[in-house]
Amino acid sequence: MDLRSWVSDNTLKLVGMSEATIVDYMIAEAQCAKSRESLREALSELPQTAEAQRFINELFDRVPRKSSSDTTSKRKRQEQETKKLVEKNQKTYTLLHDDDNYLDEQSSKKSKKSKKEKNLRKKDSLNGWEKSEDEYLKEENEKIQDIIERDEYAKRLREKDKERTKKLVEDRSSKADSETAKRRNLANDAEARKKLLPDIRERSRQTYLKDRTDKQLQMLELGVIDEDILFKDEKLSKRERRELEMKKETLRLTKERLSLSGKTDEYSMPEDYITEKGKIDKKRKESVLYQRYEEDRDPNKFVTDQDQWEQTQIVKSQLKVGAQDRIKDDEDYSYVFDDQAIDFLDWDWKSNDKEDEIMAKIDEAERKEDLLKAVNEYQTLVIVGETGSGKTTQLPQYLFEAGYTKGGKKICCTQPRRVAAMSVAARVADEMGVKLGYEVGYAIRFEDCTSDKTIIKYMTDGTLLREFLSTPLLDDYNCLMIDEAHERTLHTDILFGLVKDIARVRPDLKLLISSATLDAQKFAEYFDAPIFNIPGKPYPVQVCYTKAPEANYISAAITTVMQLHISQKNGDILVFLTGQDEIEAVHESLQHTCRVLGSKIRELIICPIYANLPPDMQAKIFEPTPPGARKVILATNIAETSITIDGVTFVIDPGFVKQNVYSPKTRMESLLVVPCSRASAVQRSGRAGRVGPGHCFRLYTQHAFHNELEENTVPEIQRTNLANVVLSLKSIGIHDVMRFEFMDPPHEQALIAALNDLYALGALNNNGELTKLGRRMAEFPLDPFLSKSIIWSERYNCTEEVISIISMLTVQSSVFYRPKDKKFHADKARQNFVRPGGDHFTLLNVWEQWVDTNYSMNWCYENFVVYRSMSRARDVRDQLVGLCERAEVDLTSNPNPGDIVPIQKSIVSGFFMNAARISRFGESYQKAKYGEPGRTIHIHPSSSLFQVNPKWIVFYELVLTSKEYMRQVMEIKPEWLTEAAPYYYSKSELDNLDGKKKMPKNNQAT
């Protein structure tokens, strides 16, 4: 280890922070110090501990001393440089001569270049090159003051984090005198528990009596039935007959009493269905709404002639002709496949229910003992295991049982996707027999389901990355487990470098890198750690390829699902698709096919799974399949390794995946459908061998698998915009991001582009240091462009409106829906929302109207608005409002709703890089900056400004389909760009784009 790294690590261990200036200062002091005592006096600010003294002594020994000859030569060199500087100054500033010829000579020399120098000085002054000393000092003072304010802001945030206790699961809205707060305080108050015991006993007795009444009634009814059946032909005595009649009468009276409803013809106040948390109890509300549809079964109620006639007609409509005991003929025909049936190599479509031999599983106790021994022996461990081996669910429980949570410490397990974190946390909480959110919880973006009792915490990689902002050393955790490391997401790659540095400073921290692939040697070399292999359930999986390439993999997947459902008896089906649109299309097609076939086939339960699906819908994939039915799961690549679904024996792999690709040159981000890698295909096939022997049907040829697919997926950090990554690293304290220890470093051009973007946004100063604005932007889990707009809106007093717009932009692609049979009505309803200014104000109008209707679901249906997307935008907005308080942004509303200029300026402050100007012919646009010559972009047809074609616009994103389209467009004025980013745009540059170029003087008309 070199000297600088050694000093940096020890400084971080002693002081809690380490910067390049501190390291240079310590090394310089050690070089100048004549003895250990003088060095100890110079570094007196270090803690007065034995470890610090040892560090100072070793630093004095390690640093090379400067000899006297070096000092002398350095002094002579400085004297020579000073002498040269004095001579230069004497040559530069000379006395004026009185001789007129000399003056004429000098003036003639200068006259030749006077015009050129004049133009150069003018250009320099326009670009701000000529700065006086006072201006320079002023800038430096402002920079220092900004850094001081940034550090004070970070200190306030740390104090807030210490005071804040996460109690989202319990109830943040409950007041001190509420019932929820009183119940919560009972755990620490013995006297209060004694006082409440009588009430608890009474409530328990009432519950017991209700249950006992139901049981006694059931026993009485069964007893009467038994006596009628057993003693039907027997002669009973008078006493026995009297007892039997009494039982029947008691049963009749009890049933009549229970059947009495509390309905009256008069008006009564409805029950309150608001819970203690201030939320609506949906079950109680639905029960109130459905009371009007409940049939009144009172036999004594008067029945009108109309009701009698309707009942008669219902009976007639259900009349069947023929003998009831007629034996139904078996249908002598079966399902016939169409001509486009998929043919696979080495596969027969006849039912294949042969049970293969199952290999013996490894002894769980032995595996647990070996694993804990390895964890205890090594600080960092790379764990490799097959799918279903229990890495994600069992390993944290092993660590908990081994005592790694003692002293209030926690175990952290990261997941690349939020759906995986939620589902795995729920499963582990169920296995441990605890309530989700207490001992076991999860934390994802915009949702924190943990409490102060949480000891096993599942979270996404991005959430753990944000925890570095408040606690750089992660002191709350005793064990970190980076799960699904092979997926190499953006945040996972950053975590690799951060946790590797933490492990050097915290020897007590256990670091586990978990992967489901056998290619773990790269992880082992990066972390310099051993590999521990965990065998899973090695059920054989038969892989079948198509005989010929498929032109449409969507249709091929649908056909294969129906072929399997008809020909195979047991086993659920898992289909991998690229996104939500494909999943919904396949879902609709399968439902239509099942409706057409009707009772000719078994029941087919279709369960989609993707990120935007509500949690209750996502949970359906884990429910057991009913007997006699089959479940088909339509999933994105989230089901490759992140979650495990029991019962799947058939996997259909079309071989495609959606990838986000960013070009730093054109600044365009595209979500493209590309072929998956061979490693992903192997992971997909492994999902069929979870519960028994399985089959994987790949909708491509074997030649394509070996020759057309890449071996591994390209890491996300090498194909995405790094602005948010660089901002996070700067906020954590990593200043030299170009030398950050990435496992696979991104392209240098991408890092430079990210630094330029952050400098243009004001998040970095001209020295590359984080500003106070940048530190506030880092608190928002958004792109820096969106964060800048929120913070800048405070200047224009329109924070509420900008937050609403940004919340809607997060779901902008799925706000409106357009049914095929109601296209005209949907387009008309959408047109009614359009407002002047652009798409941002259209989204704001949709939000405000929905809020005015008290978040009505019926309003969404009537106006063809997706209620789920609006609910998602509401959740995002609530979270952003809370983060505004944390980022010290005042929530203000636009005082003049008719004036949209403040909102436009706030949006432009963050999206000035996405400005575009109309081309010469008025049919397309060109970017104002970083636009290639001849490269045109177009307004998306769904935009409200489509075919309006304003002169200047800013857009939210570029989408590459048949053309490069701009989505969510807003009209602007060019002077707003220079106001928002004077160092990014100059007035002359915008004038040139606007065609306001000045003509030369000699060509102007006299």
**pLDDT of res. 112:** 45
> pLDDT tens for residues 755-784?
888 888 888 888 888 888 888 888 888 888
> pLDDT tens for residues 359-371?
333 345 556 788 8
**pLDDT of res. 175:** 45
Letter string b/e over residues 7-20, b meaning 16 or more CB atoms within 10 A of that residue's CB = bbebbbbeeeebee
pLDDT at 10 over 70: yes
Answer yes or no: is 406 within a domain. Answer: yes
Q: Is residue 852 located within the same domain as residue 913?
A: no
The enclosing domain of 634 has a CATH number of 3.40.50.300
Q: Is residue 642 located within the same domain as residue 736?
A: no
> pLDDT tens for residues 712-748?
778 888 888 888 888 888 888 888 888 888 888 888 8
Q: Work out how many domains the chain is built from and give that number.
A: 6
Look up residue 906 and give its two tokens: 């706030």
**pLDDT average, residue stretch 51-76:** 68
Q: Is residue 674 located within the same domain as residue 794?
A: no
Q: Is residue 894 located within the same domain as residue 759?
A: no
Q: Is residue 645 located within the same domain as residue 553?
A: yes
Report the SS3 class of residue 479: strand
SS3 percent helix, strand, coil of the chain, rounded to 5, is 50, 15, 35
Answer yes or no: is 943 within a domain. Answer: yes
Rounded distance between C-alpha atoms, residue 657 and residue 661, angstroms: 12
Rounded distance between C-alpha atoms, residue 337 and residue 410, angstroms: 56
Answer yes or no: is 212 within a domain. Answer: no
Q: Is residue 696 located within the same domain as residue 554?
A: yes
Domain boundary among 42, 68, 94: 68
Rounded distance between C-alpha atoms, residue 20 and residue 739, angstroms: 13
Rounded distance between C-alpha atoms, residue 785 and residue 796, angstroms: 17
Rounded distance between C-alpha atoms, residue 527 and residue 511, angstroms: 10
Q: Which pTM was predicted?
A: 0.61
Do residues 687 and 639 touch, judged by C-beta distance below 8 A? yes
> pLDDT tens for residues 439-470?
898 888 767 788 888 889 998 888 888 788 77
Q: Which domain holds residue 499?
A: 364-534
Rounded distance between C-alpha atoms, residue 511 and residue 520, angstroms: 15
Answer yes or no: is 822 within a domain. Answer: yes
Look up residue 507 and give its two tokens: 């020897």
Q: Is residue 632 located within the same domain as residue 579?
A: yes
Domain boundary among 840, 868, 899: 899
User: By percentage, how much of the chain surpasses pLDDT 90?
Assistant: 6
Task: With cut-offs at 50, 70 and 90, classify the pLDDT of residue 652.
Answer: very high
Answer yes or no: is 237 within a domain. Answer: no
**pLDDT of res. 116:** 47
CA 423 to chain centre: 15
The enclosing domain of 832 has a CATH number of 1.20.120
Answer yes or no: is 797 within a domain. Answer: yes
Q: What is the helix (H) or strand (E) element at residue 90, kind and residue range? A: helix 68-92
Rounded distance between C-alpha atoms, residue 345 and residue 626, angstroms: 32
- The most confident of the ranges 134-148, 528-542, 638-652, 971-985 is 971-985
Q: Is residue 554 located within the same domain as residue 616?
A: yes
Q: Is residue 457 located within the same domain as residue 521?
A: yes
Answer yes or no: is 894 within a domain. Answer: yes
Q: Is residue 563 located within the same domain as residue 661?
A: yes
Answer yes or no: is 106 within a domain. Answer: no
Q: Is residue 487 located within the same domain as residue 405?
A: yes
Rounded distance between C-alpha atoms, residue 915 and residue 966, angstroms: 11
Q: Is residue 383 located within the same domain as residue 530?
A: yes
pLDDT at 803 over 90: yes
Domain boundary among 68, 85, 119: 68
